[in-house]
Amino acid sequence: MELSDWIQLMIGIPLVGFLLSLLVPESLEKWLSRIAFYTAGINLLSTLVFLVFWINQGGISLNLKEIVLFKNEHFEFLIDFYFDRVGAVYLVVGAILTFLVTFYSRYYLHREPGYKRFFNTVLFFYLGYNLTILAGNFETLFIGWEVLGLSSFLLVAFYRENLLPSRNSIKVFSIYRIGDVGLILAMWASHHLWHENVTFMVFSNSELVQDHLVQQGGLAFFVALMLLLAASAKSAQFPFSSWLPRAMEGPTPSSAIFYGSLSVHLGVFLLLRTYPFWENQVLVRFLIGGVGLLTAVLSTLIARVQTSVKTQIGYASLTQIGIMFIEIAAGFELLALIHFAGNAFLRTYQLLVSPSVVSYLIREQFYGFEPKAKSNSTTVQQRLFLSLYVWSLKEWNLDRFINRVVFFPLKRLGHNLDFLTYKTVLIYFVPSYLLGLYLLVTGYALPPSVHQALPLVFAFFALLMVLKSFTERKSTRLAWVMLVMNHLWMVLAIAENENFSTPEIVIYLSGIALFGSLGWVICTWMNTKLGQQGLVDYQGYVKKHPLVGFLFLLCVLGLIGFPISPTFIGEDLLFSHIHKDQYLLAFLAALAFVMEGIAAIRIYARLFLGSPPTQIYVHEVKSIL
């Protein structure tokens, strides 16, 4: 077996382990833990054996073009794998830590409700992690990227009957989706920069990269900027640091493997993987270093005033990741890899022992607490110290900043559409959509200025549909229909912009038709059988109807273009028809897709996570009594 073929084994083992874990019933805890334990162990062993042969052959970079999923005259969607020293370090560290965490979790979560769900999600995460690390192009990396985002959402919401984990899971997923905007736009711009589905192996050709930078410097700078956005959101760098403490709502083992060691370092990995592309862009290097420096300073201050040990460890990890950003920007790739490995092992250990440390500190505080002496001095130094202390307690209002800049304007725009009901949709938007579709099919001649404006108008209508769904509270079915209409308007926008062939439209809309229809049927069933109508409160239906909750989650994933649906390929096809100078159209399309993911997950969370309002009230009364 050739070394390049061995890469398939590193993907196949976690995939087989994940599928086997789905078949084991909840009651068989030993089998569930053994499957996870042996999956991680076998994959660790195969990785180490592979590394021995790889090093003996000189440690050369390997590229494996695996599967071409779609190909036409101007576009090729392929699954590509790539392996080099960056991938080697991340694979080994990931395999060791996953192996240790699965062993630890066998006993830590014994008889915990959701034992099976935890190991299912961890193996799913490990599959996505390996896909991301071994990805040879942006499309393959995005598959793993999406798997990691979903795994994070599920693990943060592990205690799904509680309100706070349910809300925080949506918060974490929303920040991840902001990073997805950067990655989607980077993929789109890369297609126009290289005029092909570029692989990471091409980046090693410095002359070719430099030639493209000289010819299309503006487009290359845009790609690098979007990669920085994706990396910053994934690694919780400034200004996205506020999601990390919210992510600590999950079990301690998931916090260790996700937000202490592996997932939070994937922004660093993205920068390392694309380093040969942007290393000669001086401004980009300054921006990366500046983001890292600002994050390191703020995270250090915030970590020193936290009362939760897990939050302290999380912000301490962010400080080190900020320093890694600086190291990468300075060109110290090897140092950043060593730093990553050391920080990952340290934070995993700290998080796994944190319950014992908390128990010890509580005992120590009970028996040996000594209050500090008060001081009445008001020197400038002390005033500055107190100001920094208060700002750090507030986490420098980073959460409020993101809400004010990103989500509140979108919510305000969505609330301006509160007049939309089923009736008004039928009166205004359906006829206008049918009119646009008729003009497109008949090829009706329009003035050039109108023809150029229509793609932007239709894409804006698609975004409005998503924002209406995002803010809808009264009707679940209306919120779901708005998400489906987003895709219909987006197809019309791109078809008006450039020839969007019938086979491409079928690929894009086939997943929408299937999962959109099934989701609407579930919403209707819940309305008629359960009396469920709005999305004001968290309903917690997953407890009584777990199968319905699972099916609806599949519908959500299929509708937002998760890699279980042809729409995943269709979205990439759609962006291939947006010209390289149409930044606004690309931004509207990316924003619509990303906000749709947030809106769809919010619908799922409101329906199936949390507890019904009556149960919350009963719990509060019992706690008072």
pLDDT digits (tens, 9 = 90+) for 272-297: 999 988 888 889 999 999 999 999 99
Residue 145's Cβ-side half-sphere holds a number of Cα atoms within 13 Å equal to: 28
**Do residues 150 and 180 lie in contact, with contact meaning Cβ atoms separated by under 8 Å?**
no
Q: How confident is the model at residue 508 (pLDDT cuts 50, 70, 90)?
A: confident
pLDDT average, residue stretch 15-39: 88
pLDDT digits (tens, 9 = 90+) for 205-224: 777 777 777 777 788 889 89
Among the listed ranges 12-16, 237-241, 369-373, 478-482, which one has the minimum average pLDDT value?
369-373
Domain ranges of the chain: 3-361, 417-624
Judge whether residue 621 has pLDDT over 90.
no
| 92 sits in which H/E element | helix 85-108
pLDDT digits (tens, 9 = 90+) for 109-150: 877 788 888 888 889 999 999 999 998 888 889 888 889 888
**Do residues 479 and 423 lie in contact, with contact meaning Cβ atoms separated by under 8 Å?**
no
pLDDT at 616: 44
pLDDT average, residue stretch 459-477: 87
Q: Retrieve residue 181's tokens.
A: 């905007």
User: Could you tell me what percent of the chain has a pLDDT over 90?
Assistant: 16
pLDDT at 600: 92
How much is the pTM? 0.90
Sequential DSSP letters for 475-536: -HHHHHHHHHHHHHHHHHHHHHHS---HHHHHHHHHHHHHHHHHHHHHHHHHHHHS-----S
Q: Retrieve residue 66's tokens.
A: 């695996």
* Helix, strand, coil % over all residues of the chain, rounded to 5: 75, 5, 20
pLDDT digits (tens, 9 = 90+) for 94-113: 999 999 888 888 888 877 78
**Do residues 578 and 585 lie in contact, with contact meaning Cβ atoms separated by under 8 Å?**
yes
- How many Å apart are CA 430 and CA 420, to the nearest integer? 12
pLDDT at 624: 38
Q: How confident is the model at residue 369 (pLDDT cuts 50, 70, 90)?
A: low
Backbone angles phi, psi at 62, to 5 degrees: -115, 140
The end-to-end CA distance of the chain, in Å, is: 68
